[in-house]
Amino acid sequence: CNNIFTIHGMWPSVSSGTQPAFCGGSFEPSDISSILRKMEYAWPSYDGSNDSFWSHEYDKHGSCAKDSPGMDTVFGFFNTTIGIWENLD
């Protein structure tokens, strides 16, 4: 158990305040291979496999963040979120 603040997710929202979900696209572990160590440290699953957790987070939330700066790809979604986390931790 790490004694640090970790990421659970990044949820996009629209001006009406709603949170869109499942906007198309899918997670492949190879998409984040270059940041895997950061992901395992900053964004671990608390229950189950990391890949399943990350897949759920991308498919449900990250796929709806494609219009946000830097988040137009699977890598961009996770890498940008980790960058925000690094500035807050």
Residue 88, phi then psi, degrees to nearest 5: -95, -30
Helix residue ranges per DSSP H, the chain: 36-42, 50-60, 74-88
Decide if 61 is catalytic. Answer: yes
* Rounded Cα distance, 8 and 19, in Å: 16
Active-site option among 8, 28, 40, 86: 8
Active-site option among 28, 40, 56, 61: 61
Active-site option among 28, 40, 56, 57: 57
Report the amino acid identity of residue 42.
A
Catalytic residue positions, numbered: 8, 57, 61
